[in-house]
Structure 1
């Protein structure tokens, strides 16, 4: 680190940062640079907009002082470094210019072409685009090597992640300089190649898409799917409530953009149900209704939760439960007699045998109804079976209701609420996590980003309970591959075909991370 507080390769703390485009994201980025100690200049093509943004930033800093998060003296010093300017020419001596204007390629190219005639050759140029190609934005420049993507997440002052995107023509030195600068600002930078969706918006697609597909296929209602992914999968929010927060129009546009940029790859196919919401103007909280009704006083739908049932006094364990092995001590702690039977009698895969002989097994990506040992009941994957508060069950079409009641009572005895859902391949959590793992493994193989940066991005950018590659290592690459192969057999569109990267890992059970 230098005396100015940045690394030798970053922008010095005394270097001026320009932010062009002063909407919510531009203001947030400007605030981050300002708090880090830089002089900051705001420019907006709309007359008076930059001055309004400076006033808004000042009000934000006042609120931080009122909450005790910022010293009054630091606020005063920061505001002394903030200036709104009316002309691009006023940015001539900046060392870093960050663009946060509308997501339109032509507009961005025009802006950077104009900036290039104003700033010095040493000035680093950055676009905050979340959906456009950094390579394409730089394509109109005389010196495209100095343009890099700096994708901040909203709200920029709060969320730590910044994707540092290196376009096809971006100089490594420029990407390193941007990375070191962002790190000096106290953010968590990750490096990634210029690919549709970058890291987060590429790898997160299955989190939404699989939930929407379960809903479209009649597997469960949104409130139940959200609850299962939260309370069993460990995700902070379910995909239906999260997209209502983000905005259905925004989330669907990102999905469509990635799908179209990847030449309609079936793995990224958008949801028809979500498209209908967008067409109807039901964009979520901002319009008062999306998947849920957000009007004042509107009741929030409750997830399907089974009524109390009696737990069996005794069950048998045949074989190894694999990723669900954590259930074994829970069953014993609950006082239920567990009889371990020889593995040789277990058949393919391990399972719990209910008193009437019905097989209760972790979903393997196939439907319980297609199991040759049916009638049976599947249960879903959990992040941690000890801490999970809800478990989903999917009985086969021929399962005895009394067996379903016994399975329900078993999990209730372990302290879990139970949601009985339709018998769909892969259920809810398992198919979602398997797809996330596969997308992440494929991204590493394609050079999108390193395994470590992908896991960091998914934990810090969208608050996943585990990085997908770390999660895949815990589940086992072979288990993930088999879940996807069974899903692919049930739905042979290419959507669930495991990637070659995952297949290679599973063949040797090599680590994904």
Structure 2
């Protein structure tokens, strides 16, 4: 492969414009083509405005902005791309259209020119099948907006020449992006790994465990994510995200882990696609999300006796640690902590299950269902962090209120959800880690690249495998096993890759030594 100095971009939409921008800023000559000549001129004008703004903000020198604009050449025909060492296609997500464009490009460019697709969901191998030289075809998947999303997936097709992927990896770094390498599989890394947050969030809402805003609040304020699943889907819009969910599910032959939800089917049909439509899972006024205000926490009743189940030692330790702080700290909460081996008849019963619901805990531990409430200790019970309580259909309202008051006594926000194996955060995080583990098992990408791609591409607080290590891979495995046992749903079956690393005491971020 020749050194890449001239890059062709086919498609002058948002993605094509973004790719042209970072390439020109990196000193590359750019040939920008679109079948709509006006779109090319509009894209070039938009780039000029972007660079002018960067100059005004002091983020770019005027001379550098002028030079970048001069490097972007508007092209009226594909033949104008003949001298490119790389052509990146960023057009409509239709296999037949992409194949047609690649066939035309092969008749124009030199045999050692790399042909790359910015596809987010189509097979690179399938795109390359119609090419005379399939080895030079690779995936070069950027994320929108390209200049701000600093990760790009480099995808090797089944018949791809590794040298083409290597050249794209080097070019990505030159353009200021972090490249991650993936084998050609549905969803590549980011769209594949992202199934856990959205599909499990939808499943939780479908089961009426909690409303959209509470699921989002739990994932932000308890689990530490920048956005919850429903905020994220409103931002990306259901007319974009729902077809991806369906596509990946079907491409993996109805794999239960990726099962979509009819909630998005109905909302998409009704036009409630998200922020851009003014309404999705939330309403938007002047672009601002309208979320219901949370009710004030109830007052703590006098002399509340509390008993915490000892069945889950880690959870018991977390819950008792917080309750002791409330009792003996500055708050001096009027609570009595029972240390009896069995729950006293007049005590609030607190259980701390991993992957189970309150009903299962009550049944297996022989507890009084009327007085039993679950608290999620998976992410700890730190000061100022949102806490999640869970009640069963048999929990009496006065005990629910007492538990809410108790765990909100120090001013922490509290979400009270209906019975759910794994609460909310446990379920979603376990699914995220499990899917990432299976991506590693299939050798679609290395553990390092999986974490890099998800952290940069989806904005998670850390990569899914690093998250699994931080929270405890054995605990993730326990949650998954219990969720599968309670629900009977194969979507929760643990990845063998995860199970083996727990059994061997290996970090989820470590490569196999074999």
* Shared fold (TM-score, shorter chain, > 0.5): yes
Seen in structure 2, the aligned counterparts of structure 1 residues 191 and 25 have a Cα distance that, compared at 3 Å, is same
Q: Which residue number in structure 2 is paired with residue 61 of structure 1?
A: 51
- The question of whether the paired residues in 2 share the 8 Å contact of 1:211 and 1:432 is answered with yes
Q: Which residue number in structure 1 is paired with residue 395 of structure 2?
A: 399
C-alpha deviation, 1:165, in angstroms: 0.9
Q: Which runs of structure 2 are paired with 1:291-310 in the superposition (5 Å)?
A: 291-296=281-286, 300-302=290-292, 304-305=294-295, 307-310=297-300
- The question of whether the paired residues in 2 share the 8 Å contact of 1:234 and 1:388 is answered with no
CA distance in structure 1 between the partners assigned to 2:243 and 2:287 by the alignment: 30
Q: Secondary structure at the match of 1:154?
A: coil
1:362 corresponds to 2:362: no
Seen in structure 2, the aligned counterparts of structure 1 residues 330 and 115 have a Cα distance that, compared at 3 Å, is same
Q: Which runs of structure 2 are paired with 1:418-497 in the superposition (5 Å)?
A: 418-497=414-493
- The question of whether the paired residues in 2 share the 8 Å contact of 1:194 and 1:448 is answered with yes
Q: What RMSD, in angstroms, separates the aligned Cα atoms of the two structures?
A: 2.5
C-alpha deviation, 1:447, in angstroms: 0.6
Residue range with higher mean Cα deviation, 195-204 or 45-54: 45-54
CA distance in structure 2 between the partners assigned to 1:210 and 1:356 by the alignment: 37
Q: Which runs of structure 2 are paired with 1:130-209 in the superposition (5 Å)?
A: 130-209=120-199
Name which of 100, 125, 129 aligns with 2:119.
129
- The question of whether the paired residues in 2 share the 8 Å contact of 1:149 and 1:164 is answered with yes
- TM-score, with normalisation over the residues of structure 1? 0.90
CA distance in structure 2 between the partners assigned to 1:393 and 1:383 by the alignment: 13
Seen in structure 2, the aligned counterparts of structure 1 residues 159 and 420 have a Cα distance that, compared at 3 Å, is same
CA distance in structure 2 between the partners assigned to 1:303 and 1:210 by the alignment: 24
1:219 corresponds to 2:209: yes
Q: Secondary structure at the match of 1:364?
A: coil
Q: Which residue number in structure 1 is paired with residue 333 of structure 2?
A: none
C-alpha deviation, 1:26, in angstroms: 0.4
Q: Which runs of structure 2 are paired with 1:63-78 in the superposition (5 Å)?
A: 63-78=53-68
1:83 corresponds to 2:79: no
Seen in structure 2, the aligned counterparts of structure 1 residues 248 and 324 have a Cα distance that, compared at 3 Å, is farther
Q: Which residue number in structure 2 is paired with residue 232 of structure 1?
A: 222
C-alpha deviation, 1:187, in angstroms: 0.5
- Superposed CA offset, 1:261-299 (max 9, x none): 111111111110111011112211222211112244998
| Count of equivalent residues | 495
C-alpha deviation, 1:485, in angstroms: 1.8
Q: Which residue number in structure 1 is paired with residue 512 of structure 2?
A: none
Name which of 226, 243, 248 aligns with 2:233.
243
Seen in structure 2, the aligned counterparts of structure 1 residues 362 and 306 have a Cα distance that, compared at 3 Å, is farther
Seen in structure 2, the aligned counterparts of structure 1 residues 182 and 324 have a Cα distance that, compared at 3 Å, is farther
Name which of 8, 31, 34 aligns with 1:18.
8
Q: Secondary structure at the match of 1:48?
A: helix
Seen in structure 2, the aligned counterparts of structure 1 residues 306 and 498 have a Cα distance that, compared at 3 Å, is farther
Seen in structure 2, the aligned counterparts of structure 1 residues 253 and 41 have a Cα distance that, compared at 3 Å, is same
Q: Secondary structure at the match of 1:495?
A: helix
Residue range with higher mean Cα deviation, 157-166 or 363-372: 363-372
Seen in structure 2, the aligned counterparts of structure 1 residues 88 and 303 have a Cα distance that, compared at 3 Å, is same
- Superposed CA offset, 1:358-395 (max 9, x none): 44233311210122223332223564542653111112
1:511 corresponds to 2:503: no
CA distance in structure 2 between the partners assigned to 1:118 and 1:26 by the alignment: 20
- The question of whether the paired residues in 2 share the 8 Å contact of 1:148 and 1:167 is answered with yes
1:44 corresponds to 2:34: yes
Q: Secondary structure at the match of 2:350?
A: strand
CA distance in structure 2 between the partners assigned to 1:320 and 1:295 by the alignment: 45
CA distance in structure 2 between the partners assigned to 1:161 and 1:464 by the alignment: 13
Seen in structure 2, the aligned counterparts of structure 1 residues 379 and 330 have a Cα distance that, compared at 3 Å, is closer
CA distance in structure 2 between the partners assigned to 1:67 and 1:326 by the alignment: 48
5+ residue gaps, structure 1? 1-8, 347-352
Q: Secondary structure at the match of 2:47?
A: helix
Seen in structure 2, the aligned counterparts of structure 1 residues 330 and 283 have a Cα distance that, compared at 3 Å, is same
Q: Which residue number in structure 1 is paired with residue 332 of structure 2?
A: none
1:322 corresponds to 2:318: no
- The question of whether the paired residues in 2 share the 8 Å contact of 1:227 and 1:303 is answered with no
Q: Secondary structure at the match of 2:115?
A: strand
